[in-house]
Structure 1
Amino acid sequence: MSQVQEFDSIVVGGGFSGVHQLINLRKLGLKVRLLEAGSGLGGVWHWNTYPGARTRLPNPVYQLSDPDLWKDWTFSEKFAGREEIQAYYKYVDQKRDLSRDVSYNSNVVSADWDDAANRWTVKTEAGDVYRSQWVVLCVGISAKRYVPPFQGIESFKGKIHHTFNWPKEYDLEGKKVGIIGTGASGVQVIQECAPVAESLTVFQRTPNLALPMRQVKLDPKDEEKKKKTLRQYEFSRMFQTSSGYLKEVEPKLAHEVTAEERRLVWEDSWDKGGLLFWTSTYADILFNDATNDLAYDFWKEKVRERIIDPEVAEILAPTTKPHPFGLKRPSLEQNYFEVFNQPNVKLIDINKNSISEFTSDGIKTSDGTEHKFDVIVVATGFDMITGSVNAIDIRGQDDILLKDKWVNGVRTHLGLGSAGYPNLFWVFGPQHVLGLSNAPSSIEPASNWVVDCIKYCRENGVQSITATNEAQEAWNEQVQTYGNMALFHKADSWYIGANIPGKKREMLQYAGGIPTYVKAINDSAQNGYSGWVMKKVGA
């Protein structure tokens, strides 16, 4: 066994939340180690190297809000590509000298709590062992890929690539390509693949109700001017809106305005692009079926005018909505729907013509047709929200694995920790405000809370702190109540765990919006960390 390495705190994961934790725990004077499974920082942006990988979140808010970091950094596009996001992480690394406290290629496989010593023992796949008083999981929500159990998949003689593990220096030019899945990564690969592939066959289960990105190049001079005038207000504003974007929802609901006003608001958001049509028009899109129907009809009208073949249009934008609009997270697209007008692109609706099996040469569908490919792209997503945490064997005070406790339902207090697992926090994880918001907008308040909590404990002789069962039951009730107020349970989405067979269907994130969430976690802290039980020195 490797020699045990002692630290005050272990941070697991090197994305936005892990980097934010490392920077701020250092300021407390803690001896900190960040364990990152990859060979560099970036979280999903380290792993997502597939063609077209790009954020759906706009700049300037898709970066850390620290002025000392953003004043010397300028993105070149409104929606940054993977390469530029990686460059940003390298910039932050150099600016803050982060790598001296990072162990790369360190995939954490277990964490065990010693109640007598008030310490965690953390082990990596490589056999390294760490002990610390505090562990903060910053593993994100999309680090555990999912591949359905396709019959005969091992028999295919060509290449198979999941979008999460794209090989270096591999392109699709001139190849016969099959893509399974039309989620966010599927849409991006399809857009890149269609112009260069000999042929492209897309296997769609659920239409992607994608919104227009409206990508633009950013003028460096304009960006520098904004840094001196507007930027500080933009970063402050993103913590004040429900979604973490700069524009809040309309003050009235859709049914409270005239059809003409509603149309103009929707046209404006459509023209500006991004997720604005979803996040920043009418709140009742998410909880009123009639309003949701109107939103879907608007979307369908806009999309169908871009598709030539009526049969293809019916698959991509069905007459009857496949699920409530916006209750599966919309992707952003640039020319996705035009792709299906190309003669080298075929679309298969697997609800009507399912995938029967993989063959040595490709995929056979239920109509008996064998589709031959050089490469098959599996864009089938992830075990979202809980999968990243559950990938680690975490044992608390009762020596029971956390993932076993969650089989019949996730329980956390404030989306920050779980009863019986002292001094273990996660940022941007289960029952957090995450997937319904801009990531940094929801990460930073929670990360600050964790840092402040550790600071409080150290200053007040607290050896350990853990959520109470009563508090996490109350929080779960809030999470489910907000979920039930909206239309989430009418869509088979990862928001409720429905994308993974056998996973319990439940609301997995807090849908009350960022300001309400921030108030909840701050109220707990200001009330002496209500909902948490502390063990003090000598107790």
Structure 2
Amino acid sequence: METASNGTPASYDALIVGAGFAGLYQLHLLRDRLGLKTRVLEAADGVGGTWYWNRYPGARCDSESHSYRYFFSRELHDSWDYSERYPGQEEIRAYLNHVADHLDLRRDIQLETRVAAAAFDEKTNLWTVTTKAGERLTCRWLITAVGCLSSANVPDIPGLETFKGEWRHTGRWPHEGVDFAGKRVGQVGTGSTGIQAAPVIAETAKTLTVFQRTANYSVPARNHPLSPERKRELTERFEEIRDLVRSTPNAHPFRISADKAAEQDAETLAQRYEKAWEIGGLRFRAVFGDLLVDKGANDTAATFLKGKIREIVKDPATAAVLSNIDHPYAAKRPPIDTNYFDTFNKPHVAVIDVRADPIKRIVPEGIELESGKVHELDVIVFATGFDAMTGPLLAIDFEGVGGRRLKDDWAAGPRTWMGVAVPGYPNLFTVTGPGSPSVLANMIVPIEQHVEWIADCIETMRAEGVERIEAEPAAAEAWMGHVNDAANATLLPEAGHSWYLGANVPGKPRVFMPYAGGMVRFREICDAVSAAGYAGFARNRPADPEAAPPEVLTAMVGGAETGAGRAEALAQGI
């Protein structure tokens, strides 16, 4: 690490926390485009972010590979080919290592450096960042690129420390892997991660017992290798695919049909759903345009998918547990899978409904349920997800203006201006923070948009001699109100146990965190804010608690829409 000769903290123009997709691109723009002295601080011993840590069995992206990549450079795009429709963890990590080498980023990335705290000095308008090892660094601009799904959520189940076997969380998987051969494995959790992991674990485990609290929909991924012809076609269509993902509300490389399920007859619904099932993947969501704004329309998709579960799973009792789904389709993150439901046809695989018989505690021999039954296990796999969106940020002790703490300011839920800035924390930018489209979109597109917007903002501030920029409280309050309105215009809040609401973490405020108004609308709002001289921000002065909400937000989302029309407009992103 670079250290000043007099022992004072090393000084940088910009510090970036995290070396995943967001951190790598942010470094490239700040260092190579703006010429800033920039350093990335990364807790891991390699680049990759989420894809460095998530090495669990079956770990795979649910965005198609030709869209899950950077689009800012044609040269970079043409220098890499994915091998499958849906890339696996190892291949995505290899891609990010390729990017780091291609852009010569490693010389400014400090690995094995976990940030513990960051404090803003109002006299100098500088941030001082402190690492877990006690190192201190200062910067004018601090950017968090910590990801939305990087803080593992290990459930607080009594007795875990007494377990005689081995336990692992999917978000912190050992690099050497876990040997399940001949072992009795218990998997807790059936979200996207659990649905990916179970079929692979079942291949070698002596027994696999899946402890399910919330039954889930899933659509076959229909993953397959990409032929040389397909790879060549996707390379040639670079501009077309780039423009497509930037013009669709969820940033995926397909458009959502304008047809409405509520207007179709039974035969048409069956035919369209069957065709979408065979195509597989997240494209199933796009078969009709009203699935997440009309409960009746959603019921048609839900009924079809529950029927598929009962058709695939041969044992009626097991099928009943797996298809007992209590939320609208895609109101939670909609998983895609490879042979998930088929796995329960294997004689050594079972599902336990822990809503009917909850987990009481973990005992040395395994997992004990409220009924008193003990499932003896050698390995427990927690596929219980993450403390999403706010968790990675709150893991750092941020101290802002007047000694305020982020953990206190967000005690009742996050407050941001467009997901990129937080009142009371000047010169701090959060890539895909709470209040941005983030996890409701193909993540690479919002990441690129955020990173470019932040770089443009910093470039403008430097050109205008601005040393301090801070989100106005009223802007953040109005924005989070709009985020709430956008969510409520959809069926998303009806999944009350969704991690979109923080419901998977005990004690976490129930606030809908991602922006459901769509990536296209979000980009327009961000562009309008910058075009209006960074409306909603205080520059070279403290933020004003009495300031009015920015007019640009009212103009973009207020209008005269009411009732169903306003709901449909707000819900365009889903």
TM over 0.5: yes
Identity %: 39
2:463 to 459, 464, 473: 459
In structure 2, how many angstroms separate the alpha carbons of the residues matched to 1:350 and 1:418? 39
**Residue of structure 1 in register with 2:13 after alignment:** 8
Displacement after TM superposition at 1:484 (Å): 0.9
**Residue of structure 2 in register with 1:394 after alignment:** 398
**Residue of structure 1 in register with 2:28 after alignment:** 23
1:311 and 2:309 correspond? no
SS in 1 for 2:10: strand
8 A contact 2:422–2:476 mirrored in 1: yes
**Residue of structure 1 in register with 2:570 after alignment:** none
8 A contact 1:174–1:196 mirrored in 2: yes
In structure 1, how many angstroms separate the alpha carbons of the residues matched to 2:261 and 2:372? 47
In structure 2, how many angstroms separate the alpha carbons of the residues matched to 1:194 and 1:488? 32
One-letter code aligned to 1:8: D
**Residue of structure 2 in register with 1:190 after alignment:** 198
- The C-alpha deviation readout for 1:454-488, integer Å capped at 9, x for no partner, is 00001111111111011111111110000111122
Q: After the TM superposition, which of the residue ranges 287-296 and 165-174 deviates more from structure 2?
A: 165-174
2:529 to 502, 524, 533: 524
8 A contact 1:74–1:220 mirrored in 2: no
In structure 1, how many angstroms separate the alpha carbons of the residues matched to 2:198 and 2:310? 18
Displacement after TM superposition at 1:252 (Å): 3.0
**Residue of structure 2 in register with 1:380 after alignment:** 384
**Residue of structure 1 in register with 2:260 after alignment:** 253
SS in 2 for 1:368: coil
**Residue of structure 1 in register with 2:338 after alignment:** 334
**Residue of structure 1 in register with 2:571 after alignment:** none
Displacement after TM superposition at 1:157 (Å): 0.8
2:221 to 213, 217, 228: 213
In structure 2, how many angstroms separate the alpha carbons of the residues matched to 1:465 and 1:247? 37
Displacement after TM superposition at 1:3 (Å): 4.7
**Residue of structure 1 in register with 2:296 after alignment:** 290
1:358 and 2:371 correspond? no
8 A contact 1:109–1:392 mirrored in 2: yes
One-letter code aligned to 2:374: E
1:34 to 26, 36, 40: 40
SS in 1 for 2:368: strand
8 A contact 1:173–1:193 mirrored in 2: no
SS in 2 for 1:172: coil
8 A contact 2:34–2:459 mirrored in 1: yes
Task: Name structure 1 gaps, 5 residues minimum.
Answer: none
One-letter code aligned to 2:527: N
- The C-alpha deviation readout for 1:45-82, integer Å capped at 9, x for no partner, is 10011111111111101011121211010000011111
2:149 to 139, 142, 145: 142
2:440 to 436, 440, 444: 436
In structure 2, how many angstroms separate the alpha carbons of the residues matched to 1:110 and 1:287? 41
SS in 1 for 2:287: coil
In structure 2, how many angstroms separate the alpha carbons of the residues matched to 1:272 and 1:431? 32
| Aligned counterparts, 1:410-449, within 5 A | 410-449=414-453
One-letter code aligned to 1:322: D
8 A contact 1:483–1:511 mirrored in 2: yes
2:518 to 510, 513, 528: 513
In structure 2, how many angstroms separate the alpha carbons of the residues matched to 1:222 and 1:147? 41
**Residue of structure 1 in register with 2:540 after alignment:** 535
SS in 2 for 1:189: helix
1:502 and 2:507 correspond? yes
8 A contact 2:66–2:234 mirrored in 1: no
One-letter code aligned to 1:516: R
**Residue of structure 1 in register with 2:189 after alignment:** 181
One-letter code aligned to 1:466: E
**Residue of structure 1 in register with 2:158 after alignment:** 151
1:83 and 2:90 correspond? yes
In structure 1, how many angstroms separate the alpha carbons of the residues matched to 2:57 and 2:509? 33
1:122 and 2:126 correspond? no
SS in 1 for 2:302: helix
In structure 1, how many angstroms separate the alpha carbons of the residues matched to 2:329 and 2:480? 25
One-letter code aligned to 1:43: G
1:46 to 52, 73, 76: 52
- The C-alpha deviation readout for 1:201-242, integer Å capped at 9, x for no partner, is 1100001211110001001343124313x1221012101001
8 A contact 2:261–2:300 mirrored in 1: no
In structure 2, how many angstroms separate the alpha carbons of the residues matched to 1:270 and 1:412? 38
- The C-alpha deviation readout for 1:109-162, integer Å capped at 9, x for no partner, is 111001110100011111111100000101111121112221111111110111
In structure 1, how many angstroms separate the alpha carbons of the residues matched to 2:521 and 2:426? 25
In structure 2, how many angstroms separate the alpha carbons of the residues matched to 1:297 and 1:41? 42
SS in 2 for 1:297: helix
2:207 to 187, 190, 199: 199
**Residue of structure 2 in register with 1:56 after alignment:** 62
Displacement after TM superposition at 1:325 (Å): 1.2
1:487 to 466, 488, 491: 491
In structure 1, how many angstroms separate the alpha carbons of the residues matched to 2:412 and 2:252? 34
SS in 1 for 2:141: strand
- The C-alpha deviation readout for 1:370-400, integer Å capped at 9, x for no partner, is 2111111111111111111111111111211
SS in 2 for 1:150: coil
In structure 1, how many angstroms separate the alpha carbons of the residues matched to 2:505 and 2:418? 24
Displacement after TM superposition at 1:186 (Å): 1.3
**Residue of structure 1 in register with 2:326 after alignment:** 322
2:408 to 377, 393, 404: 404
8 A contact 1:3–1:128 mirrored in 2: no
**Residue of structure 1 in register with 2:275 after alignment:** 268
1:112 and 2:112 correspond? no
Q: After the TM superposition, which of the residue ranges 41-50 and 253-262 deviates more from structure 2?
A: 253-262
Q: After the TM superposition, which of the residue ranges 182-191 and 326-335 deviates more from structure 2?
A: 182-191
Q: After the TM superposition, which of the residue ranges 92-101 and 527-536 deviates more from structure 2?
A: 527-536
One-letter code aligned to 1:131: T
In structure 1, how many angstroms separate the alpha carbons of the residues matched to 2:231 and 2:225? 11
Task: Name structure 2 gaps, 5 residues minimum.
Answer: 542-574
Name the Cα RMSD after superposition.
1.5
- The C-alpha deviation readout for 1:6-25, integer Å capped at 9, x for no partner, is 10000111111111101111
8 A contact 2:18–2:144 mirrored in 1: yes
**Residue of structure 2 in register with 1:166 after alignment:** 173
- The C-alpha deviation readout for 1:1-44, integer Å capped at 9, x for no partner, is 97511100001111111111011111100000001110111111
SS in 2 for 1:284: coil
Displacement after TM superposition at 1:246 (Å): 1.5
- TM-score, scaled relative to structure 1: 0.96
Q: How many residues align?
A: 533
Displacement after TM superposition at 1:287 (Å): 2.0
- The C-alpha deviation readout for 1:166-222, integer Å capped at 9, x for no partner, is 123222122111111111221222110112111111100001211110001001343
In structure 1, how many angstroms separate the alpha carbons of the residues matched to 2:392 and 2:289? 30
In structure 2, how many angstroms separate the alpha carbons of the residues matched to 1:213 and 1:435? 18
